[in-house]
Structure 1
Amino acid sequence: MIYAIGDIHGQIEMLDHALDLITQDGGPDADIVFLGDYTDRGLNSCAVIDRLIDGKASGKNWRFIKGNHDRMFTNFVTMGKQHDPLIAPGLNYLNPRIGGTNAIASYGVTGEPIFAAHTRGELEILLHFQTDQGALTPDQLQQETAKAVPAAHVDFVNNLPLWIETDDLIFVHAGIRPGVAMADQDPEDLLWIREGFLEDTTDHGKLIVHGHTALDAPTHFGNRIDLDAGAGRGGALIPAVFDGRECHILTDNGRVPLTPA
């Protein structure tokens, strides 16, 4: 059996509850795949990454995939990168909809981003970051954030793979480009894809298990399962267990079968 946890988005209490459910079902040595998006939006990105690093270091059978938010996080920490070209309409990493301000706040860098006036579709540019000690320029903010975020956290994220494959399953953050071999997939698709994947109903050979696109609950679409239940947007974090292609979600009352809608 193999367990999976979808997008966490800084929700440490939800993560701990999901891990407790898995331990109750599969024991302390359960094989768990985490589907990425550990950071942003929620209030405890730092604690989430600490928990994941500590679990792996203690010998847990845990494996991790990189999400698009995780890459945005390290790009901001290391380079001060404010945008990703695949975010429309030009939202800044520190915009509340993206959640970067909460991520860096969990490391002690707190304040309010002040953006230049812009129209929809234009890049949202950070003018300064207002803190209790005064305003930081974008460069100063990046320098403060780089000092606050442990190098181990950056290294953890930067070294994560983009997919994990078993005999029956492919675990990936966003999805795949249908008809393209995994070795030939565009990394941007693995991190960001929606159009061209979500509406596709063809069998991919293996069941695709992903997050990235928030739904009200984990959903089985026949050829794929979306485990993002919106933890980063006020929803839930619901773990799943797989025996081959057969899937159950874990609840406080035990397993519930997850079958094609």
Structure 2
Amino acid sequence: MRAYAIGDIHGHLALLERAHARIAADMERHGPAPIIHLGDLVDRGPDSRGVIEFLLAGQARGADWEVLKGNHDRMFLRFLDDPHAPEPGLREGLSWLHPRLGGATTLASYGIHAPGDRPIAPVHRDALAAVPQAQRDWLAARPTHLAMGPWVFVHAGIRPGVALADQTETDLVWIREPFLSDTRDHGVLVVHGHTALPEAQHYGNRVNIDSSAAYGGPLTAIVLEDDQIHVLTPEGRVPLRPA
């Protein structure tokens, strides 16, 4: 059993294309398999629109790709639906257009002028005109998790001790604790992103592949094959083992 996974993209289309190139090279040697993108397609990077277009087009032509929803993708959608609606996972006092979150860079990729420096009402009006409805519908339809054999793919993680069917969307796209410090066997290996690290890490019961592309780091792609995990590099596979 084999699958590929790509961590948090955050608007970096060039990094995403290179990750797909590494996967394509691995598939040439080992055969096709699904590719799962772990969410956070948008924000902070320079071309969120390009990332969405790339992934949407790939699925439209029949590529075996799954694209999950991340918290930044949900904030983007929530802003388009209602720019004043609170985001349950976001700390009070912050909004999607705060410089720390990168929403303005996403809107700029759609050609919106000074989205972080104007009143919300005209920015929202411009966003509604600029973001195609087809992209909004596609983003809204993104699942929050994917169970596949011995693995569960999810953006942020799971609430320990809660059945997958009973997890809330907010936990699946936002959770850190108590998930990150929980060492119990979840019954499946949880493959996630959301919490930025310098490089991918295997913790035995979970694998975090958010390698900080949002902050100038690389975009990690891995291959999972039976009970083995490898990071894909330009030189080929590098084993990723529990620390």
Shorter-chain TM band: over 0.9
Query: What's 1:45 paired with?
Result: 48
Query: What's 2:181 paired with?
Result: 199
**Correspondence list, 1:40-119, <5 A:** 40-81=43-84, 83-111=86-114, 113-114=116-117
Q: How far apart are the structure 2 equivalents of 1:245 and 1:178? A: 22
Query: What's 2:214 paired with?
Result: 232
CA deviations on 1:139-176 (whole Å, 9 max, x unpaired) are 22111101100111111110011100011100000000
Q: How far apart are the structure 1 equivalents of 2:66 and 2:94? A: 31
Equivalent residues of 1:40, 1:102 under 8 A apart: yes
The answer to whether the aligner puts 1:141 opposite 2:135 as a matched pair is: no
Query: What's 2:141 paired with?
Result: 159
Q: In the alignment, residue 231 of structure 2 is paired with which amino acid?
A: I
Matched positions, count: 240
Query: What's 2:169 paired with?
Result: 187
Query: What's 2:36 paired with?
Result: 33
| SS of equivalent to 1:4 | strand
Q: How far apart are the structure 2 equivalents of 1:182 and 1:139? A: 38
| SS of equivalent to 1:177 | coil
Equivalent residues of 2:88, 2:170 under 8 A apart: no
Query: What's 1:255 paired with?
Result: 237
Q: How far apart are the structure 2 equivalents of 1:68 and 1:85? A: 10
Q: How far apart are the structure 2 equivalents of 1:139 and 1:55? A: 34
| SS of equivalent to 1:46 | helix
Structure 1 unaligned regions, length at least 5: 115-128, 130-136
Structure 2 unaligned regions, length at least 5: none
Select the structure with the greater relative contact order (CA < 8 A; seq sep ≥ 6): 2
Shift in alpha-carbon separation, 1:43–1:83, aligned structure 2, 3 A: farther
CA deviations on 1:78-137 (whole Å, 9 max, x unpaired) are 2224652422252221112100000000000020534xxxxxxxxxxxxxx1xxxxxxx3
| SS of equivalent to 1:8 | coil
Equivalent residues of 2:108, 2:115 under 8 A apart: no
Q: How far apart are the structure 1 equivalents of 2:239 and 2:171? A: 29
Query: What's 2:20 paired with?
Result: 19
Query: What's 1:5 paired with?
Result: 6
Shift in alpha-carbon separation, 1:48–1:257, aligned structure 2, 3 A: same
| SS of equivalent to 1:113 | coil
Equivalent residues of 1:5, 1:227 under 8 A apart: yes
State the identity as a percent.
46
Q: How far apart are the structure 2 equivalents of 1:29 and 1:62? A: 11
- What TM-score, normalized to structure 2? 0.95
Q: In the alignment, residue 223 of structure 1 is paired with which amino acid?
A: N
Shift in alpha-carbon separation, 1:69–1:48, aligned structure 2, 3 A: same
- What TM-score, normalized to structure 1? 0.89
Q: How far apart are the structure 1 equivalents of 2:203 and 2:236? A: 22
Q: How far apart are the structure 2 equivalents of 1:174 and 1:30? A: 23
